[in-house]
Structure 1
Amino acid sequence: MPKHGSRPSPAKSSGDVLAIAAASLLLVASAPIGAQEMRFFEIVDDGIPEPLTGTRGDPARGRAIVVDRQKGLCLLCHSGPFPEQRFQGNLAPDLSGVGARWSEGQLRLRIVDSRRINPATIMPPYHSIDGLVRVGKTWQGKPVLSAEQVEDVVAFLTTLTEAP
């Protein structure tokens, strides 16, 4: 079973490269200084079945991260059941019903490093530092979200079971 490690090359088309670059710049600008160190994980099939922290996250904190335009930046690309949030994205799937579409482990892998599922994805890795380029010196070697924050987001996303 693969362990956290090397990455496939990112997308090759110029449109994908530009989208990845734009998303990466935004994430680097919002990455927390002093974020907790990386937690290793084990991928089983198409998911990470065990929580990165050994415990489940808090859905309320996870929702706050998802809608926070400085921390998670999820709504830059995704839309979802967030009526109070204006200007939701349309580049990625709607988050409504995501908890019914994917298991907790599948959601966790998509948050940790979606490139493991789709090497051409524009979704940035939130808890992986492998294969990243043009990362600001202050943020090198640090994940965008801590393991605890990943678990909070996963806990929230599992509550989204209603389709749009």
Structure 2
Amino acid sequence: MKRHVAWAAMAVTFAASAAIAETAPMDVKFTDVGAVAESLTGQPGDAAKGAEVAATKSLGNCVACHKVSALDASFQGNVGPELNGAADRWDESQLRGIVVDAKHTFEGTVMPAMYKTGPFIRPGDGYTGKAAPADLPPILNARQVEDVVAFLMTLKEE
């Protein structure tokens, strides 16, 4: 009897984990305007955690390039557009696409793709011979992307 209960518990755990499987970086589907309609995790993000990712240098570090009044950061950049009111300018799927890889929305942007593993252009081999390896880990994981999107969705015009 104990063996059957253990097998049943394992089956439920496996089914639950399969139901909330993450979308791998190379499997993300963009619309023709750069939006990503489907959640990468199948679950809503946590806006408070997204704010932390956006303000933390070792994570997303969004404030290095963007001004975000809702964040208390010692330095806020002006390279990218202000994110104040982002939820009024873009919908959730558009924001997800921009965070995953902004180049699908804004050709020529300098914003790094936050959830991409390749392909990348690696000029280092031609100049120094020290280009990064072919596959790099994404800057953010799927959960962090969804958290940042949830945070951005809280940024309404004042």
Report the TM-score when normalising by structure 2: 0.72
- Equivalent pairs counted in the alignment come to 127
Q: Within the alignment, does 1:84 sit opposite 2:79 as a pair?
A: no
Q: Name the % identity.
A: 36
CA offset at residue 41 of structure 1? 1.9
1:108–1:150 contact (8 Å) kept in structure 2: yes
SS in 1 for 2:76: coil
Counterpart amino acid of residue 150 in structure 2? A
Q: Which residue of 2 aligns with 1:96?
A: 84
Q: Within the alignment, does 1:42 sit opposite 2:29 as a pair?
A: yes
The change in CA–CA distance for 1:103 and 1:75 in structure 2 (over 3 A counts) is same
What pairs up with 1:70-149 in 2 under 5 angstroms?
70-82=58-70, 84-132=72-120, 133=122, 136-137=132-133, 140-149=135-144
Residue by residue over 1:12-51, the C-alpha shift from the partner in whole angstroms, topping out at 9 and shown as x without a partner, is xxxxxxxxxxxxxxxxxxxxxxxx9636222224211110
Q: Distance in 2 between matches of 1:53 and 1:67?
A: 22
2:118–2:135 contact (8 Å) kept in structure 1: no
1:57–1:153 contact (8 Å) kept in structure 2: yes
The change in CA–CA distance for 1:83 and 1:146 in structure 2 (over 3 A counts) is closer
Q: Which residue of 2 aligns with 1:54?
A: 42
RMSD: 2.1
SS in 1 for 2:101: helix
Gaps of 5+ in 1: 1-35
Q: Which residue of 1 aligns with 2:157?
A: 162
Q: Distance in 2 between matches of 1:57 and 1:160?
A: 14
Q: Distance in 2 between matches of 1:61 and 1:100?
A: 21
More helix by share: 2
2:103–2:109 contact (8 Å) kept in structure 1: yes
1:37–1:146 contact (8 Å) kept in structure 2: no
Q: Distance in 2 between matches of 1:162 and 1:57?
A: 21
Residue by residue over 1:92-121, the C-alpha shift from the partner in whole angstroms, topping out at 9 and shown as x without a partner, is 111100011100000000000011122310
Query: Greater CA radius of gyration, 1 or 2?
Result: 2
The change in CA–CA distance for 1:37 and 1:117 in structure 2 (over 3 A counts) is closer
Counterpart amino acid of residue 78 in structure 2? N
